[in-house]
Amino acid sequence: MDYIKNNKAAWEEGFENRKPCWGDENHIKLKSERLAFFNTDMQEELEKIDFYGKTVAQFCCNNGREILSLMDMGVGSAVGFDIAENIIGQAKYTAEKAGIENCEFIVCNILDIPESYYNQFDVIILTVGAICWFKDLNLFFDKVGKCLKNNGSLVMNDIHPFENMLPIPGEDEFDPNNLDKLAFSYFRKEPWLQNNGMNYMSREYKSKTFTSFSHTLSDIINAISSKGMRITRFNEYDYDVGMTDIYNNMGCPLSFILKAEKS
């Protein structure tokens, strides 16, 4: 899967071109706020879970700020997995500065997580921008299902697939005077290719290629359900959890929270 190898190179290059001080002070917020890097609705869902003494993982953990936010919930141990070595380096730095010792970080392609992690986690979390980097969700959620313990939980907060139909500033299709314009197919199969950096993290530059994919709700639900997990909760929200807030409160679904249990 060359696109995954190429994405690894693009992410590591993006981190090298990160905005000044990006992520360097995450430890300060971790020390002062509960569930610091989750939005309000995700905080409410996480507060309903008994994390005390549990084993937790985050797939595509980026710089670790979210899984580290969970550690003050009484988590016994945690593992963050991500493909970019230098971004994981910042996660380890943040954990050290925050004085968190029971959270480790592993550099690997999610699809290559070794069998030693199978049936190891009580909870796996997925946040914005995790599944879009994988063409085949069946392969991705197969790893989720294998790594969860029996009766373990998946908690997922991500961009709603509907949002992939909407153009964003910088795209030719974007019209600020016509924000309800749908520019792309909900059932798009061709990948999204990006060569101007990763704008939330880095300055704009001529970058290596980021390759991502759109998935429908049925893609997500069927992939989860086919891997031995039962969906127990699904909520939709009219605000973005990604890179833009221009479509917030317009009455269309922009994000969701999904919870499932391995049975």
Domain boundaries along the sequence of the chain: 2-159+186-246+257-262
- When the pLDDT of each residue in the chain is averaged and rounded to a whole number, the result is 96
Greatest Cα pair distance, the chain, in angstroms, is 53
pLDDT at position 48 = 97
User: pLDDT digits over 6-18, tens only?
Assistant: 999 999 999 999 9
Per-residue H/E/C for 79-120: EEEECCHHHHHHHHHHHHHHCCCCEEEEECCHHHCCHHHCCC
**How many Å apart are CA 63 and CA 147, to the nearest integer?**
21
207 touches 11 (CB < 8 A): no
In the numeric block, which tokens belong to residue 118?
């199978």
**Residues contacting residue 122 through CB under 8 Å, at least 6 positions apart:** 54, 55, 56, 148, 149, 152, 153
Beta bridge partners of 158: 256
Is the pTM above the cut of 0.75?
Answer: yes
Which residues of the chain fall below pLDDT 50?
none
First-to-last C-alpha distance (Å) of the chain:
30
| Domain boundaries 2-159+186-246+257-262, corresponding CATH code | 3.40.50.150
User: pLDDT digits over 43-99, tens only?
Assistant: 999 999 999 999 999 999 999 999 999 999 999 999 999 999 999 999 999 999 999
**Residues contacting residue 190 through CB under 8 Å, at least 6 positions apart:** none
